[in-house]
Structure 1
Amino acid sequence: MVEQIDITRVLFLDVETVSGQPTYGQLDENFQKLWAYKAPSALKRYGEELTEDELAASYTDKAAIFAEFGKIVCISVGAVYRDKDKQLKIRLKSFASRDEAKLLADFNEMLDQYYGDPGKYFLCGHNIKEFDVPYMCRRIVTHQQKLPALLDISGKKPWETKHLVDTMDLWKFGDRKAYVSLKLLAAVLGFPSPKDDIDGSDVGRVFWEEDDVERIAVYCEKDVLATAQLFLRYQRKPLFEDDQVFYVER
């Protein structure tokens, strides 16, 4: 199916998340209790009672991956178009902010304005079905914002969500057991790795300790570009060269 998709109708996407508070100690009492209940399963230590130090460490390490305990600090997208010479180019843009509600509102507005028809356009990301899309939807609901058409998937049948293209899912070929990283596929399929500065485990530190949203956005855009390159590999088409990649100024 992927070979039949016009890449200019695909919006490539990646999301970066952090814990909702800088540390476990800065959570209110109710959320501390809720994390104490959640943490053993997050660490795969089912039924155990964790110490305060273990709860604090686990919050730093794991809270960002749960939409109930984390938040989005960056959504980067890549839009592909053909220039006057019919050459493919990709434009990368980030919605990055310390204000999650504004970040989501701006992203949702863009999605509704330019990608409002799930029958015409696609969202593509790596592990987008298991992580990025559910996380975005949950945070949008948390802020009581309206879900854009491409994300309004609750209760939909599998054939009603064909506009969600997951590059990790495409690699599985029916194997449901394993996670395969974008970095590994870059090495296997011979396109530039997106990981040359920070990785996902550094995002919380860069946000809370260095207050560097710009650095996170740069990292996130690299993941988006790598996902687009992976998509081209699946289509057996040439990769984007440097002169085909453009960045929207933040």
Structure 2
Amino acid sequence: MISKLNLEHILFLDIETVPEYKQWSELDDDTKLLWETKTQYQRKDEFTPEDFYDRAGIWAEFGKIVCISVGYFKIQGDSRQFRTTSFHGDEPKILRDFKGLLESHFNRPHHLLCAHNGKEFDFPFIARRMIIHHIELPFKLNLFGKKPWEIPHLDTLELWKFGDYKHYTSLKLLTKILGIPSPKDDIDGSQVRDVFYNEKDVDRIIIYCEKDTVSVAQIFLRLRNEELLHDSEVLSV
């Protein structure tokens, strides 16, 4: 089925997130209590709520987006190009700029969004942060009332599961076994917080995020049994 999809109709993406505040001490008392309650099962007795706060970026209620990278194919005859671009800055601007892209270039019924673990993480995280910032959801993220087959989302993790819902495969593992150059040649997700807050190196995060976006497209090509992208075919714009 995916072999019949037009590659130019798919927007591939990846997001990078961090805790909303740099330090636990910046949270008000109510938020500290809510964080403690929210993470009680994950923390168990191994971490205090303060020690566990470094991981707050994985929850939309306590984290924020610092980068959204997207990529799309442009195909002319035998020529193929994959163009990437990134949205960064303050979170409301990131979200509005991303929404603008969806509404101006990926707003048709046949357009699809694709991410790795996107249905569990990227897509709902973006939607929740938009609502928190009073940004009206774009059509591609507004799932209210849609039937399952009407949801315009693809997920390379879900495609790899082949119906096995208890199976999780990381992006790094999947690129390894499929013979795709690893995007994790600098930092990984666990280091994004320190790079953002301590090193203040947003450019490094953007490069990392764009590499992940390319990897999602590469996995999709492998699932279609098509030739991988060459470096010369990838362009950051």
* Residue aligning to 1:148: 138
| Secondary structure in structure 1 of the residue aligned to 2:183 | coil
Q: State the alpha-carbon separation in 2 of the partners of residues 155 and 17 from structure 1.
A: 28
Q: Kindly provide the amino acid, as one letter, of the partner of residue 54 in structure 1.
A: T
Between the aligned partners of 2:84 and 2:3, the Cα distance in structure 1 is 22
Partner of 2:92: 101
Q: Equivalent of 1:133, from 116, 123, 126?
A: 123
CA distance in 2, matches of 1:136, 1:67: 8
Structure 2 spans left out of the alignment, 5+ residues: none
Give 1:40-51 correspondences, 5 Å limit. Answer: 40-43=40-43, 45=44
TM-score, with structure 1 as normaliser: 0.92
Displacement, 1:63? 0.8
**CA distance in structure 2 between the aligned counterparts of 1:39 and 1:234, rounded to whole angstroms:** 36
**Aligned-residue CA RMSD (Å):** 1.3
* In 2, Cα distance between equivalents of 1:36 and 1:187: 36
Runs of 4+ in 1 over 6 A off after TM superposition: none
SS in 2 for 1:130: coil
In structure 2, what is the Cα distance between the partners aligned to 1:156 and 1:16? 27
| 2:57 is the alignment partner of 1:67 | no
Q: How many residues are treated as equivalent by the alignment?
A: 237
Identity %: 46
- Secondary structure of the structure 2 residue equivalent to 1:73: strand
1:111 aligns with 2:67: no
Q: Which amino acid aligns with 2:40?
A: P
Give the equivalent residue in structure 2 for 1:211: 200
| TM, length-normalised to structure 2 | 0.96
> Can you list the C-alpha shifts for 1:173-229, whole angstroms capped at 9, x where unaligned?
110112101111111111111100000000011111111111111000000000101
**Quick one: distance in 1 between partners of 2:86 and 2:202?**
10
Q: Distance in 1 between matches of 2:197 and 2:145?
A: 36
Alignment correspondent of 1:6? 6
Q: 1: distance between equivalents of 2:106 and 2:66?
A: 22
Aligned AA (1:3): S
Match among 226, 241, 246 for residue 235 of structure 2: 246
- Give the 3-state SS of the residue equivalent to 1:128 in structure 2: coil
- Matched with 1:29 is 29
